């Protein structure tokens, strides 16, 4: 956005965001170092999408959707780092998530505003951090303030490397014991599980690896943690932030599923770019003390589920927005093909609408049933979030199939912009493949869009990510079983029919 009017010194423009990424970070793609992530074809598309959202913060009609006035600063800051104290603030914070999901068509699982909800989640349970590690607990609020003032974005990175799990099982009580590498014995190899390898007065040095670092190459900073597991050692009990350009961080990007921006007709979504997933190697990376939220207390890592409840709320909200876009896409297909009078077609569209409405209902219910934590942060209802995410990912494949089914042969018989540039081919396609009140080329563009969101490799990556990001259905069912309190209903039945309480 040219000539953007900056409404606050704490809000970046798109160009300011891009400039912040030109920081000598170490990012590899197919064995070669990327000199500038803002111009490289693998990373630049996703960066351009995020840059537009940074610019949108300064638009008068969007400033209340994307920003709020921080009472301590007296200036506007991004809602991404807002600590909601009321239900109204919680719902206002979700407006940012809905906007970003709509702008990205819901295909960014780690967008502009997800990672901030991790430190905000720590603030929601800050007294527990103070009780266990008071010297680091205050860093949480300090970091939120720092991130707000600098309009930061980046990922939360949690996943450990995928390697031979039989070794972990053979290691006894503590997982990954055999994968830690020789560094724990004084060698030079990198441990698989992120851990502290050195401590000084100024901070700590960490080594290890993390997987699925989505948007790591495209963000400013990342939030790192290790999930609680049996036998987790104090030096592996970590929760911290680190700049993405910190010395010793090596980012290895996976093969891209985006395409040339000039192919916007052939691939309306795929050509825009993507969030790049990465494998991260940490080699003696220095972390200043003020960036540490937990070090050395395994019990604090057990709070992960409570802390990231806001992240799960974000995931569900994004799925709901994406589902609403799918309902719009379904109707566009029906209108383009003139099939709206067929009962079976209307039934399929209704199922897509039902999916969208149900997910939105879960989002609204999680906010309506939200409660203040002990530290007076308004946090959404866990049962509605878990049930909603389970419903979302369980039915996601069927909704994708419905969109494909509505298109019929249209997805199979797609044509390129070059085809329509050929006079003979164009004339025949327009004569024989026109849509209802639209040209063949317009109908074909819609099919290209549906292809990108349902069938292409880009869509395949998104579908895989959704399943991992929301947690696989069996794990969500297990969580729901343990989280949902059935006791009041059980006691009512017992009392009503004469069973002992």
**CATH number of the structural domain spanning residue 282:** 2.40.110.10
User: Tens digit of pLDDT for each residue in 288-331?
Assistant: 999 999 999 999 999 999 999 999 999 999 999 999 999 999 99
- Based on the fold, state whether residues 279 and 410 are members of the same structural domain: no
Joined tokens for residue 289? 């003390």
Query: Of the residues 244, 270, 300, which one is the last residue of a structural domain?
Result: 300
- Based on the fold, state whether residues 31 and 155 are members of the same structural domain: yes
Flag whether 76 is in a domain.
yes
User: Tens digit of pLDDT for each residue in 354-398?
Assistant: 999 999 999 999 999 999 999 999 999 999 999 999 999 999 999
Question: What is the residue-wise DSSP string for 239-293?
Answer: EEEEETT-TTEEEEEPPP----GGGTTT-TTGGG--PPPEEEEEEEEEEEGGGEE
Query: Of the residues 273, 300, 327, which one is the last residue of a structural domain?
Result: 300
- Nearest-angstrom CA–CA distance, 304 and 281: 23
- Based on the fold, state whether residues 325 and 292 are members of the same structural domain: no
- Based on the fold, state whether residues 213 and 358 are members of the same structural domain: no
The per-residue b/e assignment along 365-399, b for 16 or more CB within 10 angstroms, e otherwise, is bbbeebeebebebbbbbbbbbbbbbbbbbebbeeb
Q: Which residues of the chain have pLDDT under 50?
A: 1, 169-186
Look-up of token digits 């290895």: 252
- Based on the fold, state whether residues 244 and 314 are members of the same structural domain: no
Query: Of the residues 274, 300, 326, which one is the last residue of a structural domain?
Result: 300
pLDDT at 364: 98
Query: Which structural domain, as residue segments, surrounds residue 69?
Result: 1-300
- Based on the fold, state whether residues 328 and 286 are members of the same structural domain: no
Flag whether 498 is in a domain.
no
Domain count, the chain: 2
pLDDT at 179: 44
- Nearest-angstrom CA–CA distance, 399 and 294: 41
pLDDT at 187: 52
- Based on the fold, state whether residues 18 and 137 are members of the same structural domain: yes
């Amino acid at each position: 956005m040219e000539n953007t009017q900056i409404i606050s010194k704490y809000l970046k423009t798109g160009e300011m965001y891009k400039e912040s990424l030109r920081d000598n970070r170490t990012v590899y793609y197919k064995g070669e170092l990327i000199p500038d992530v803002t111009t490289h074809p693998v990373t630049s598309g996703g960066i351009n999408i995020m840059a537009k959202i940074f610019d949108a913060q300064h638009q008068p009609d969007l400033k209340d959707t994307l920003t709020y006035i921080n009472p301590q600063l007296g200036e506007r800051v991004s809602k991404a780092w807002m600590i909601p104290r009321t239900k109204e603030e919680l719902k206002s914070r979700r407006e940012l998530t809905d906007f970003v999901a709509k702008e990205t068509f819901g295909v960014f699982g780690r967008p502009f505003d997800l990672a901030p909800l991790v430190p905000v989640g720590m603030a929601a349970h800050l007294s527990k951090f103070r009780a266990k590690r008071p010297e680091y607990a205050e860093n949480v609020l300090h970091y939120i303030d720092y991130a707000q003032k600098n309009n930061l974005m980046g990922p939360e990175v949690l996943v450990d490397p995928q390697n031979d799990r039989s070794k972990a099982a053979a290691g006894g009580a503590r997982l990954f014991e055999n994968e830690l590498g020789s560094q724990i014995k004084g060698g030079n190899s990198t441990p698989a599980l992120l851990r502290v390898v050195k401590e000084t007065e100024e901070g700590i040095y960490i080594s290890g690896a993390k997987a699925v670092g989505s948007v790591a190459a495209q963000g400013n900073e990342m939030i790192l943690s290790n999930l609680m597991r049996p036998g987790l050692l104090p030096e592996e009990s970590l929760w911290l932030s680190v700049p993405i350009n910190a010395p010793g961080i090596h980012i290895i990007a996976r093969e891209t599923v985006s395409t040339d921006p000039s192919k916007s007709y052939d691939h309306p979504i795929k050509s825009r770019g993507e969030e790049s997933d990465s494998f991260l190697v940490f080699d003696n990376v220095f972390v200043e003390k003020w960036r540490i939220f937990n070090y050395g207390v395994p019990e604090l890592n057990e709070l992960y589920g409570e802390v990231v409840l806001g992240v799960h709320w974000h995931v569900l909200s994004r799925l709901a927005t994406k589902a609403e876009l799918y309902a719009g896409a379904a109707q566009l297909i029906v209108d383009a093909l003139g099939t709206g009078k067929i009962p079976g077609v209307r039934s399929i569209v209704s199922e897509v609408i039902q999916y969208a409405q149900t997910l939105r209902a879960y989002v609204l219910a999680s906010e309506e049933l939200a409660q203040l934590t002990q530290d007076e942060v308004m946090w959404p209802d866990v049962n509605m979030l878990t049930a909603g995410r389970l419903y979302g990912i369980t039915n996601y494949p069927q909704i994708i199939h419905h969109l494909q089914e509505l298109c019929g042969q249209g997805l199979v018989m797609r044509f390129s912009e070059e085809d329509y540039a050929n006079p003979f081919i164009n004339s025949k396609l327009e004569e024989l493949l026109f849509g209802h009140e639209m040209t063949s080329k317009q109908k074909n563009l819609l099919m290209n869009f549906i292809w990108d969101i349902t069938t292409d490799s880009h869509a395949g990556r998104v579908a895989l990510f959704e399943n991992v990001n929301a947690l696989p259905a069996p794990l969500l069912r297990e969580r729901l079983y343990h989280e949902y309190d059935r006791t009041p209903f059980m006691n009512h039945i017992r009392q009503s029919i004469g069973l002992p309480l």
